[in-house]
Structure 1
Amino acid sequence: MSNQHDELDQNEDLENDIDGEEQPELTPEMLESLQLLAEKLIVNWDFEVQSIELIQGGQMALVWKIMTENGPRCLKRMNRPEKKSLFSIHAQDYLAKKGAKVPGIIPTKQGSLYAKQGPFLFVLYDWIEGRQFDITVPEDMEWIMKGLAHYHLDSVGYKPLSGIPIFTKLGRWPNHYVKRCQQMQSWKLLAEKTPEDPFSVEYLKEIDYFIEFGKEVLGKLQESHYPEWVAQCKESPNLCHQDYGTGNTLLSNDEVWVIDLDTTTFDLPIRDLRKMIIPTMGDTGVWNDEVINHMLKGYESVNPLTPEQKKVMMIDMLFPYELHEVVREKYGKKNDVLAEEFTVAVEFERSKVKEINRILSEL
Structure 2
Amino acid sequence: MMREFEIERQFQIKIDIIKANKGIYYLKTNKGERCLKKINYGPQKLLFVYGAKEHLINNGFNTVDRYFLNIDGEPYALVNEDLYTLSEWLEGRECDFHNIDEVKIAAATLAKLHEASKGYDPPENSKLKSDLGRWPSLMEKRIKSLDKMRDMIRKKNRKSDFDLLYLKSMDFYKEMGKKALNTLRSSEYDKLCEIAEMEKGFCHHDYTYHNIILGKDNSVSVIDFDYCKREIRTFDISNFMIKVLKRNKWDMSFAKAIIDAYNEVSNLEECEYNVLYAYLQFPQRYWRLANRYYYNEVNWGQNTFDSKLESIINEKEEYLKFLDDFKNEYNTI
Q: TM-score range by the shorter chain?
A: 0.7 to 0.9
Q: In the alignment, which of 186, 206, 213 is matched to residue 250 of structure 1?
A: 213
On the 8 A contact 1:195/1:201 being kept in 2, the answer is no
1:191 matches 2:156: no
On the 8 A contact 2:169/2:313 being kept in 1, the answer is no
Which residue is equivalent to 1:234? 197
* Number of aligned residues: 323
On the 8 A contact 2:15/2:27 being kept in 1, the answer is no
Which residue is equivalent to 1:175? 137
The AA in structure 2 aligned to 1:187 is M
> Percent identity between the aligned chains?
23
1:56 matches 2:21: yes
CA–CA distance in structure 2, aligned partners of residues 115 and 90 of structure 1: 17
Which residue is equivalent to 1:355? 325
CA–CA distance in structure 2, aligned partners of residues 121 and 178 of structure 1: 35
For residues 68-126 of structure 1, give each alpha carbon's deviation from its aligned partner in whole angstroms, at most 9, with x where no partner exists: 2x422223222323332221122223323443221332222232222222332222222
Superposition deviation, residue 172 in structure 1: 0.7
TM-score (norm 2): 0.86
Superposition deviation, residue 342 in structure 1: 5.6
Superposition deviation, residue 210 in structure 1: 3.1
Superposition deviation, residue 313 in structure 1: 0.5
Alignment of 1:263-274 (within 5 A): 263-274=227-238
On the 8 A contact 2:47/2:123 being kept in 1, the answer is no
Superposition deviation, residue 177 in structure 1: 0.3
Superposition deviation, residue 129 in structure 1: 1.8
Which residue is equivalent to 1:344? 314
Q: Which moved more, 1:74-83 or 1:170-179?
A: 74-83
Which residue is equivalent to 2:180? 217
Which residue is equivalent to 2:108? 146
CA root-mean-square deviation: 2.5
CA–CA distance in structure 2, aligned partners of residues 203 and 128 of structure 1: 41
1:45 matches 2:11: yes
Which residue is equivalent to 1:84? 45
Mark the runs of 5 or more structure 1 residues left unpaired by the alignment: 1-32
CA pair 273-140 structure 1, distance change in 2 beyond 3 A: same
CA pair 203-77 structure 1, distance change in 2 beyond 3 A: closer
CA pair 290-213 structure 1, distance change in 2 beyond 3 A: closer
Superposition deviation, residue 345 in structure 1: 4.8
CA–CA distance in structure 2, aligned partners of residues 140 and 214 of structure 1: 31
Which residue is equivalent to 1:108? 70
CA–CA distance in structure 2, aligned partners of residues 196 and 78 of structure 1: 37
Which residue is equivalent to 1:322? 285
The secondary structure found in structure 1 opposite 2:291 is: helix
Superposition deviation, residue 360 in structure 1: 4.6
Which residue is equivalent to 1:299? 262
Mark the runs of 5 or more structure 2 residues left unpaired by the alignment: none
1:123 matches 2:89: no
Superposition deviation, residue 247 in structure 1: 0.7
